[in-house]
Structure 1
Amino acid sequence: MPMQQRYGAGPDQVDDMTTADLRANFMVEGLFAPGRIGFAYTHFDRMIVGGAVPLEQALEFGGGEDVGTEFFFTAREMGVANLGGAGWIEVDGERFALANRDVLYIGRGARRVVLGSDSADAPARFYMNSVPAGADIPHRLIRKSESKVLVLGEAERSNQRSLAMYIHPEVAPSCLLLMGITDPAPGSVWNTMPPHLHERRMEAYCYFDLAEGDRVMHFMGRPDNTRHMVVADGDVVLSPAWSIHMGAGTGPYGFVWGMTGENQAYNDVSPVAISELR
């Protein structure tokens, strides 16, 4: 399985970065290639992001050569969100059927993971977040209907959105991973408002369900020194603990958020007023 690397940078290095530099350090593109599986090892709390689009043939992984352990899951856990057509995942022979927007939690100790689509004409589109884990927690399928949904924001301010928690202490436990899906409401464009920092956790955003001609303008950086990246369907943005994160789309979109760090307290954040941004 090909494993890209993302080393990131500190806030004092951003000023010297070109657009290409920002994208090379804080974005992962091309994860959802038909018939392939790919990963990027990030040095943001050692989260791995991955994508797989199985067609006629299933795709599999499980070896630990890229992470320095016997198996991929020797010291890791993972969340897998299906952003495409119906599919299935086998974990050591146990099969789970995933519809669109279902999420599978894979606990520490798994050895062989196989991913497949019900139909190559409408393939599954599996997005993966994996982080180090220090506890054995059973695998669990969390269906869309089982997620905990919060409605946030205001339509009048173009930031109303629904936030669905999947891998979360209130829904399905994990060691350190948090994972969910957010959708702006029709007519709203902004996500994660107001912007904030969580100095004890990093976050990854996978933007999806964008039309071919639409983009999300994702803002990052220290509150007094912001930058932006233009993001297409399937692109992943890596948000270090020192950075704000918010975005606005030119059309409808959703995003998968995954977090890891010192705790799983979703509200352990420091809000930043819009008037303070520079």
Structure 2
Amino acid sequence: MMRTLYGASPADIAGMDTERLRAEFLVGGLFRPDEIEFVYTHVDRMIVGGAVPLAKPLMFGSGADVGTPFFFTAREMGIANLGGSGTVAVDGMRFALANRDVAYIGRGAREVVLESDDPQRPARFYMNSVPAGADIPHRLISRSEAKPLVLGEEARANRRTLRMYIHPEVAPSCLLLMGITDLAPGSVWNTVPPHLHERRMEAYCYFDLAAADQVVHLMGRPDNTRHLMVADGDVVLSPAWSIHMGAGTGPYAFVWGMTGENQAYTDVDPVAVRDLR
């Protein structure tokens, strides 16, 4: 299935109520048993998706929804496994993914098959796909291969480990960046201080939340902020003009995916917390 979101300008959010804000920027329902769900967003044409294979493998590859012969005729993708162990097969090339491993699929792939090793502990595949103009080989990036950056302070409740997976310093791509951030025990804040990156959009997939917990995700212009209440498995679309920062009511982690004009992770414009309104 492919749903479509068209995005909004910063001027639009002033008149949005909670329901409209969630409809434009929050993606839920991606992780349904034995289904593949995709959402096509016109925010830099990123596609976010989810799949939970149980009794049978799940396959995709048709380009009907993106207007090309195959899904990957002009696209690349990162697939992060947020659940039990599973397999991603790309045109017969099989990659075994443990929890927090990521598979990169380059332009030109024909068919992707997703499987769980154990239906009682299924894989939970989260996908980011963006347009690509170069042929990069498919590959597996294990958690041990990712580049870790330890950020924040325990005293400010924002200690966290950011791991770069699809990144020029680890595994190259055409335009996609992808990684996973885990918060230290007792820390609740992510992406502090908040920032903008005018040349890239970002998608956040929050996971490993208990059913009773949520993340308060802050977005909008620095002088006109809004918030979204985010549950386990929800994805927030963050346009280039929006800040992103959040705090959880309990432990959580998130996958970040970006695309845009460059892959310079430090190409950001920080915003001081005291300047938020």
TM exceeding 0.5: yes
Partner of 2:141: 142
Q: Equivalents in 1 of 2:122, 2:159: separation in Å?
A: 30
Alignment of 1:118-267 (within 5 A): 118-267=117-266
Matched, 1:62 2:61: yes
Q: Equivalents in 2 of 1:267, 1:118: separation in Å?
A: 38
Q: Structure 2, unaligned stretches of length 5 or more?
A: none
Q: Equivalents in 2 of 1:158, 1:196: separation in Å?
A: 18
Matched, 1:29 2:28: yes
Q: RMSD between aligned alpha carbons?
A: 0.4
Q: Are the counterparts in 2 of residues 207 and 233 from structure 1 also a CA contact under 8 Å? A: yes
Q: Equivalents in 2 of 1:216, 1:185: separation in Å?
A: 15
Give the 3-state SS of the residue equivalent to 2:11 in structure 1. Answer: helix
- Counterpart of 2:247, as a letter, is A
Q: Are the counterparts in 2 of residues 221 and 243 from structure 1 also a CA contact under 8 Å? A: yes
Q: Equivalents in 2 of 1:186, 1:93: separation in Å?
A: 40
Q: Are the counterparts in 2 of residues 53 and 125 from structure 1 also a CA contact under 8 Å? A: yes
Deviation at 1:29?
0.3
Q: Deviation string for 1:134-192 (max 9, x for gaps)?
A: 00000010000000000001111111100000000000000000000001111110000
Partner of 2:107: 108
- Counterpart of 1:156, as a letter, is A
Q: Equivalents in 1 of 2:20, 2:87: separation in Å?
A: 37
Give the 3-state SS of the residue equivalent to 1:11 in structure 2. Answer: coil
Q: Equivalents in 1 of 2:145, 2:208: separation in Å?
A: 21
Residues paired across the two proteins, number: 277
Q: Given the two structures, how large is their TM-score scaled by the length of structure 2?
A: 1.00
Partner of 2:14: 15
- Counterpart of 1:96, as a letter, is F
Q: Deviation string for 1:176-233 (max 9, x for gaps)?
A: 0000000111111000010000000000000000000000000000000000000000
Q: Structure 1, unaligned stretches of length 5 or more?
A: none
Q: Equivalents in 2 of 1:89, 1:176: separation in Å?
A: 21
Partner of 2:270: 271
Deviation at 1:6?
1.0
- Counterpart of 2:274, as a letter, is S
Give the 3-state SS of the residue equivalent to 1:141 in structure 2. Answer: strand
Q: Equivalents in 1 of 2:6, 2:168: separation in Å?
A: 29
Q: Equivalents in 2 of 1:118, 1:140: separation in Å?
A: 19
Q: Equivalents in 1 of 2:3, 2:22: separation in Å?
A: 14
Q: Equivalents in 2 of 1:72, 1:153: separation in Å?
A: 39
Q: Are the counterparts in 2 of residues 56 and 119 from structure 1 also a CA contact under 8 Å? A: no
